[in-house]
Structure 1
Amino acid sequence: MSGYRKQSIPIDEAKQIIGQYQFGLVYQLEKILLGTVEKIQSEIIWEECLEARFFSEEKELHIFDYNGTYRAVCVEDEEKSNEEKSSKYVLEGKQIKLSSQFHEQSGFDFYKVKKYISYDEDGQAVVELTRLTGLC
C-alpha cells in the first residue's frame, strides 16, 4: 500500500498536458524556471530542457533524460477511504524555504513536498518516493 500510482507517459503527450498542473520547476541549459505553469510555460525551451517537474497537490509529472532519450512519469495519489486518509504511509505538508533567487523569480517563499513511506524486510520505515506538491 504505497499511496500513489506511477505511470509512464509518451514524451509528446507529457508536453501537451503540463497545463493540467499548477506549478513547474524546469532546469534548462541557460536558466532554471520556477513558478506557476501559466507564468513559465511560454519560457520553456524544450531543446534546452535537462529536467522538468510539473506539480500540484494531487500529482506530479517528471520529465527527464534517460540515456539520451526523454522520458515522462506521472505520479498521482491513490483514491483513499476516510480510514486510509489518516494512514501512516504518507507524510504531507513539509515546507522548505526557497533561496532568495527563487523567491524573487517566483514570488513564493516555500515549496511543499509529500513523502510516501514503505517498510523494508526488517520492518523499518523507508521513504519510497518524495514529490513536489506546491509553492506557497
Structure 2
Amino acid sequence: MEGTRIPHKMLSLDPFSQWMGIEILEVRTGYCRLAMTVREEMLNSMGYAHGGISYSLADTAFGFASNTHGRYAVSIETSINHIEAIHQGDYLVAEAIIDVTKNKLGFNIVEVRRGDEVVALFKGVVYRTQKQWE
C-alpha cells in the first residue's frame, strides 16, 4: 500500500481517534499533520483539557507518520511536555515534524499547537516490524 494512504486506513479502523474528532490535514512519507477541536467531555476537574487529549492527538500523529514507510510500526516509548493549558473549543494541530528512521527503530518529534502557540511537545520511538501494510 502506498505510504500516504496508510494513515487514512489507520483512522478508518480507529474508533478512539474517530471519537476524538481527529481529521487528517496532510500526509507524506515520515510526516503527518492532524487536527481536532476540544469538546466539553474532554475536560478535567479543573476545566482544562485532560492531558490525555493532547497526548492522544500527538500519539496519533506519531503513529500515522511512523507507519507511512509501509511497515507496521508500533510504539515502544513516548513522552510529552504539557506547555500551556488547553481549553474547551481550542482547535489543536499536531504535526509530526521530525522523522529519523533506522532499520528497526523510528524516532519522531510531534508539536501540538493552538494557532502559532506550541501547547505540547511529544517524543516517540517505534519498533518497525517486518509486516507490510496491505
TM bucket (normalised to shorter chain) is under 0.3
Look at both structures and tell me which one has the larger radius of gyration over its CA atoms: 1
Which structure features the higher share of helix residues?
A: 2
The structure, 1 or 2, with the larger RCO (C-alpha pairs under 8 Å, 6+ apart) is: 2
Q: TM-score, normalised by structure 2?
A: 0.27
| TM-score, structure 1 normalization | 0.27
- Which one has the bigger strand percentage? 1
